[in-house]
C-alpha cells in the first residue's frame, strides 16, 4: 500500500523554482471556491490590479494564465503571430532560443540574431538588425537565467513603437526582483511567472499587454463551438487553451467560461503579490540587490570568479565559474545531500563550467545567504579547493551585522 510521502526541507538557491513563502502555502490550503463565486471573482480582480505594480504599467490587461511561464510566452506569441510573419529573436542565452522555437511552431519566419553569452546586446545592434530585417515582432528576454545577464530595453522599445513593430519581452527571471518598466520601455506584451521572485509555486504565467495588442487580438477572436457558432474567424489563434482572445474575456467582465480555473493557485498568486506590495516594490528590489552584492562579494573573497559582464548582471542570479580541477556536480550533490541546499548548473556551452546561485523571492534572505556561504566553503575545502576558509561567510556576517 502506498504511503503518504514525507518531504525533506530544502534551502533552494536556484534560479527557480524558489522557496514558496509560508503564507502563500497557507493561503493555497484554504477552502475551494467555484471559479465564478463572487468571492473568487473579487480575488481575480485584485490580482489584476496588483500585477500592474511590479510590471510598472497602466495597461488594462494584466492577468494570469494556467501553466508555467512558457504557457504565457506561447499565449502571447501565438496571439500575435500569423503564418509567415517575420519575428526577430536576439539571442544572448538559452531562453531566447525558446522564444524562437515557439515562434517556429507558430509558423513564423524566424530570424535569429546571435552572439556569445557573456553579455547582452548593445541596443544599437538590435536596432540595426530590426532595420535590416523589418520584422513584425521583436521577441527578447529581459533576464537570461542561463548566464545571469540582463538586457537593456528602452531604446529598442522606443524604436519598435516608432516603427509599428510589436515588442514582446520575457520578464520571467526579473519580475518582482528588479525593475521591469513595461510602460517606460514601451513594451507591447510582457510575460512573467510565479515560481521565481514572487515566491509562489510554479503553475501560473503572468501577462500584460497594451491597447495595440488588445486591438490586434480582438481581430482574431473566435468563440468556442460549444458556446455558439456565431463568432467563427479564419484568423483564429491556433491554440484553444492558450487563446489570448478568449482568456481576456474570461478575466474581464464577460467572464467567458473558457476553462476551469486553478483556484488555489490564484489564492497563492494573490498572497504573493500582496506580500510583495506590503514589503514595498522598491524595498524588494533593494533586498535583492543587497543579497546579490553580499553573495557575489562573499564568493569573491573565497577566490572564486564570476562569469560574464558584471555591469549587466541581473541581481537575481549569480554565475560562478567552477575552479579548475573541481567537479561541479560533486559539489552540488554534497551541498544537497549533507546541507539540504540546492544550487544549479547551466546549459549549452556553460554546462559544467559555471554554478548558478539563485537570489530570488523568499529564498533571497539573510539566513539563506549565511548558511549557503558557510556550507559552500566547507564543501569546496573538502573537494580540495584552496582558499582562506571562512573568508566568504565571515565577510557576509560582518556586512549583515553593520
What pLDDT, on the 0 to 100 scale, is given for residue 162?
98
Per-residue pLDDT band at 49 (split at 50, 70, 90): very high
| pLDDT tens digit sequence for 318-356 | 999 999 999 999 999 999 999 999 999 999 989 999 999
Per-residue pLDDT band at 187 (split at 50, 70, 90): very high
pLDDT at 300 over 90: yes
Q: What is the mean pLDDT of residues 309-322?
A: 98
Alpha carbon separation from 142 to 133, 137, 182, 373 (Å, rounded): 21, 16, 11, 28
Per-residue pLDDT band at 228 (split at 50, 70, 90): confident
Query: The dihedral of CA 338, 344, 345, 350: what is its sign?
Result: negative
Residues 356, 25: contact at Cβ < 8 Å? no
| pLDDT tens digit sequence for 71-113 | 999 999 999 999 999 999 999 999 999 999 999 999 999 999 9
Give the whole-angstrom CA distance, residue 188 versus residue 74: 15
What pLDDT, on the 0 to 100 scale, is given for residue 223?
87
Provide, rounded to the nearest whole percent, the portion of the chain with pLDDT above 90: 96
Which three cell numbers, joined as nine digits, stand for 82? Answer: 500569423
pTM of the model: 0.97
What pLDDT, on the 0 to 100 scale, is given for residue 225?
87
Give the whole-angstrom CA distance, residue 22 versus residue 121: 38
Residues 199, 18: contact at Cβ < 8 Å? yes
Which three cell numbers, joined as nine digits, stand for 20? Answer: 514558496
Which three cell numbers, joined as nine digits, stand for 169? Answer: 519581452
203 CB-side CA count, 13 A = 14
Mean pLDDT (the chain) is: 97
What pLDDT, on the 0 to 100 scale, is given for residue 365?
97
Burial of 402 (0-12, 13-18, 19+ CB in 10 A): exposed
- Ranges of beta strands (E only) in 67-135 are 86-91, 109-114
Residues 331, 383: contact at Cβ < 8 Å? yes
What pLDDT, on the 0 to 100 scale, is given for residue 226?
84
Provide, rounded to the nearest whole percent, the portion of the chain with pLDDT above 70: 100
Which three cell numbers, joined as nine digits, stand for 14? Answer: 536556484
| pLDDT tens digit sequence for 259-294 | 999 999 999 999 999 999 999 999 999 999 999 999
Residue 299's SS3 state is: helix
Backbone angles phi, psi at 194, to 5 degrees: -90, -25
Amino acid at each position: 500500500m502506498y504511503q503518504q510521502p514525507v518531504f525533506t526541507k530544502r534551502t533552494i538557491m536556484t534560479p527557480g523554482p524558489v522557496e514558496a513563502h509560508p503564507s502563500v502555502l497557507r493561503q493555497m490550503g484554504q477552502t475551494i471556491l467555484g471559479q465564478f463565486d463572487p468571492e473568487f471573482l473579487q480575488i481575480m480582480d485584485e490580482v489584476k490590479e496588483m500585477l500592474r505594480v511590479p510590471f510598472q504599467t497602466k495597461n488594462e490587461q494584466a492577468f494570469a494564465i494556467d501553466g508555467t511561464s512558457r504557457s504565457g510566452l506561447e499565449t502571447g506569441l501565438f496571439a500575435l503571430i500569423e503564418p509567415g510573419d517575420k519575428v526577430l529573436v536576439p539571442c544572448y542565452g538559452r531562453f531566447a532560443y525558446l522564444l524562437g522555437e515557439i515562434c517556429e511552431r507558430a509558423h513564423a519566419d524566424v530570424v535569429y540574431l546571435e552572439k556569445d553569452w557573456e553579455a547582452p546586446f548593445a541596443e544599437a545592434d538590435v536596432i540595426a538588425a530590426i532595420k535590416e530585417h523589418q520584422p513584425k515582432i521583436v521577441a527578447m528576454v529581459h533576464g537570461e537565467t542561463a548566464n545571469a545577464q540582463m538586457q537593456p530595453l528602452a531604446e529598442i522599445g522606443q524604436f519598435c513603437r516608432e516603427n509599428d513593430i510589436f515588442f514582446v519581452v520575457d520578464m520571467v527571471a526579473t519580475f518582482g526582483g528588479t525593475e521591469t518598466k513595461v510602460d517606460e520601455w514601451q513594451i507591447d506584451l510582457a510575460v512573467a511567472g510565479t515560481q521565481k521572485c514572487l515566491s509562489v509555486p510554479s503553475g501560473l504565467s503572468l501577462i500584460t499587454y497594451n491597447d495595440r495588442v488588445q486591438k490586434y487580438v480582438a481581430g482574431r477572436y473566435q468563440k468556442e463551438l460549444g458556446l455558439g457558432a456565431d463568432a467563427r474567424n479564419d484568423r483564429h489563434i491556433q491554440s484553444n487553451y492558450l487563446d489570448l482572445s478568449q482568456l481576456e474575456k474570461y478575466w474581464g467582465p464577460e467572464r467567458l467560461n473558457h476553462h476551469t480555473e486553478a483556484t488555489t493557485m490564484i489564492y497563492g498568486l494573490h498572497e504573493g503579490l500582496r506580500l510583495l506590495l506590503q514589503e514595498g516594490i522598491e524595498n524588494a528590489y533593494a533586498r535583492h540587490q543587497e543579497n546579490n552584492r553580499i553573495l557575489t562579494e562573499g564568493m569573491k573573497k573565497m577566490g572564486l570568479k564570476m562569469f560574464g559582464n558584471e555591469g549587466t548582471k541581473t541581481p537575481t542570479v549569480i554565475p560562478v565559474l567552477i575552479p579548475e580541477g573541481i567537479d561541479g556536480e560533486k559539489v552540488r550533490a554534497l551541498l544537497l545531500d549533507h546541507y539540504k541546499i540546492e544550487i544549479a548548473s547551466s546549459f549549452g556551452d556553460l554546462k559544467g563550467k559555471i554554478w548558478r546561485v539563485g537570489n530570488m523571492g523568499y529564498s533571497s534572505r539573510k539566513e539563506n545567504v549565511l548558511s549557503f556561504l558557510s556550507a559552500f566553503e566547507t564543501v569546496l575545502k573538502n573537494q580540495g579547493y584552496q582558499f582562506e576558509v571562512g573568508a566568504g561567510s565571515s565577510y557576509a556576517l560582518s556586512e549583515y551585522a553593520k
